[in-house]
Amino acid sequence: MSDPYHIHDARLLVVDDNQENIDLLLAVLNQAGYTNVSATDCATEVAALHAKHNYDLILLDMQMPGLDGLDVIEALRRVEQNAYVPVIAITANPGYKIAALQAGARDFITKPLDVAEVNQRIHNLLEVRLLYRKLAEQGRMQRQMALHDHLTGLPNRRLLEDRIETALHHAARNHRMMGLFYMDLDGFKAVNDTHGHECGDNLLRMVAQRLLGACRQQDTLARIGGDEFILLLTHIDDMSDLMRPALKILESLAAPFQVDGRTLHISASLGVATYPVDASNAEELICRADQALYEAKRAGRNRFHLANMLARPEPARART
């Protein structure tokens, strides 16, 4: 059963060309405790109103001038994003009941109105509607969790690899460059060892926000585990389009972090690889950036290193 508070807070629309009928239904709904109810006597504007407000339930008179109820339901089917038309058809004509249900209405109410019947049918349909929305939201959240890092909310490796493949396809087709930064925080292990993992997690969240602020909107920043991040840069014209964001990232992390009452200093080392200069596929691109990251670490940290400056590929090595 749905929480009655949420049912009474649902968005309702009354549609009738007769103002007396509108007033009667508004009084019934107000008496039943519904707090978010609006009305219109214009059948032609119902679909646009639903597209804007996404009503939980529409009480629709089936016989109106301009568009009849069946036409309105058809218009609603075209704008309803979830293929669920939340309509209770209201009619004095028994012939309209089956036609309305066949058109997509979820239930019907017969005139003259029986207040107890009206309240129960509305309540029952709203329970179904709100449950439908809850399940849809749970499904959306599950998809979100499957593709995003639980700690920072950034894309995870699975989503990143999909974005890389898409970017490679576009770059190859349009003969463009693209870049990839493999980033690792310098000395992050010491933060966890000294101040605990909760402090380290809070620091990672702050780092993610600073990195996002240093990135372009069209690029993808992902956390792939621990203190490792990857930034995918699309639409690169030349190497300067990589060096500028690399420097901006290092600068963004230079200011101290205030974490749980502590002042912490952190920096990052970056390995930079490009398509098609350094790699021709996603796996090779990540590998070359990882090798360049190791060189940045070995050269003193808090810097970036370009993969095309490497004399030859080297196996990935442990970093701290």
pLDDT, tens digit, for every residue of 19-29?
999 999 999 99
Domain 157-309 in CATH 3.30.70.270: yes
pLDDT at 103: 85
Please list the residue range(s) of the chain that carry CATH number 3.40.50.2300: 4-146
Give dist(CA 253, CA 125) in Å, integer: 53
Helix 69-79 to helix 46-53 angle (10° resolution) is 30
Average pLDDT, rounded, for the chain = 88
Q: Identify the band that residue 144 occupies on the pLDDT scale cut at 50, 70 and 90.
A: low
Q: How far apart are CA 69 and CA 105, in angstroms?
A: 10
Structure tokens at 175: 């003969």
Architecture per CATH, domain 4-146, reads as 3-Layer(aba) Sandwich (3.40)
**In this predicted structure, what is the pLDDT of residue 128?**
81
Range with the poorest average pLDDT among 88-97, 271-280, 287-296: 88-97
Q: What is the pLDDT of residue 316?
A: 44
Asked whether the predicted pLDDT for residue 258 surpasses 70, the reply is yes
Tell me which residues are annotated as active site: 227
Q: Which residue intervals of the chain bear CATH 3.30.70.270?
A: 157-309
- The whole-number pLDDT of residue 1 equals 42
Confidence of residue 140 (pLDDT cuts 50, 70, 90): low
Question: What pLDDT does residue 79 have?
Answer: 85
Separation CA 43–CA 65 (nearest Å):
8
Count other C-beta atoms under 10 Å from residue 61's C-beta: 25
Q: What is the pLDDT of residues 199-220, one digit of tens each?
A: 999 999 999 999 999 998 889 9
DSSP string, 99-168: HHHHHT-SEEEESSP-HHHHHHHHHHHHHHHHHHHHHHHHHHHHHHHHHB-TTT--B-HHHHHHHHHHHH
